[in-house]
Amino acid sequence: MRLGAAAMLPLLIGAAQPRLVPDVSQRRIDIIYSFTGAELLLFGAILYPGGRAPAAPPDIAVVLKGPTEAVTLREKRKIAGMWVNAASARYRSVPSFYAVASSRPLADLIDPRTAAIYELGLDSIQLSPASGALPDDQRRFDEGLVDLKRRHGLYSETVKGVELTEGVLYRARIAIPARVPVGAFTAETFLIQDGRVVAAAVRAIDIDKSGFERFVAAAAERWSISYGLVAVAVSLLLGWAAGVAFRRF
Under the banding of pLDDT at 50, 70 and 90, the label for residue 69 is very high
Residue 249 to residue 244: CA distance in whole angstroms? 9
Smallest CA-to-CA distance from 118 within 2, 19, 197, 218 is with 197
Contacts of residue 166, defined as CB under 8 A and 6 or more positions apart, other chains included, come to: 53
Per DSSP, 181 falls in state: P
Q: Give the ranges where 56-128 is alpha helix by DSSP (H).
A: 106-109, 112-118
Residue 195 to residue 104: CA distance in whole angstroms? 12
Smallest CA-to-CA distance from 58 within 72, 47, 50 is with 47
Q: What is the DSSP string of 134-161?
A: -HHHHHHHHHHHHHHHHHTTSEEEEET-
pLDDT of residue 31: 81
Residue 10 to residue 216: CA distance in whole angstroms? 53
Residue 11 to residue 83: CA distance in whole angstroms? 62
Are 185 and 204 in contact by the 8 Å Cβ rule? The answer is yes
Query: pLDDT digits over 106-156, tens only?
Result: 999 999 999 999 999 999 999 988 877 788 888 999 999 999 999 999 999
* 245 or 31, which is more confident: 31
Under the banding of pLDDT at 50, 70 and 90, the label for residue 6 is very low
What does the chain come to in residues? Answer: 249
Smallest CA-to-CA distance from 42 within 245, 186, 154 is with 186
pLDDT of residue 12: 41
Percent of the chain with pLDDT over 70: 76
Percent of the chain with pLDDT over 90: 52
Phi, psi at 232, each rounded to 5°: -65, -45
pTM metric for this prediction: 0.76
Q: How many CA atoms lie within 13 A of 12 on its CB side?
A: 6
Amino acid at 214: R
Contacts of residue 228, defined as CB under 8 A and 6 or more positions apart, other chains included, come to: none
Per DSSP, 169 falls in state: E
pLDDT of residue 5: 44
Which range among 3-17, 66-80, 208-222, 234-248 shows the weakest confidence by mean pLDDT? 3-17
Listed as own residue / partner, the contacts of 11-18 with beta carbons closer than 8 Å and 24 or more positions apart are 15/49, 16/49, 17/49, 17/198, 17/199, 18/46, 18/47, 18/48, 18/49, 18/58, 18/191, 18/193, 18/198, 18/199
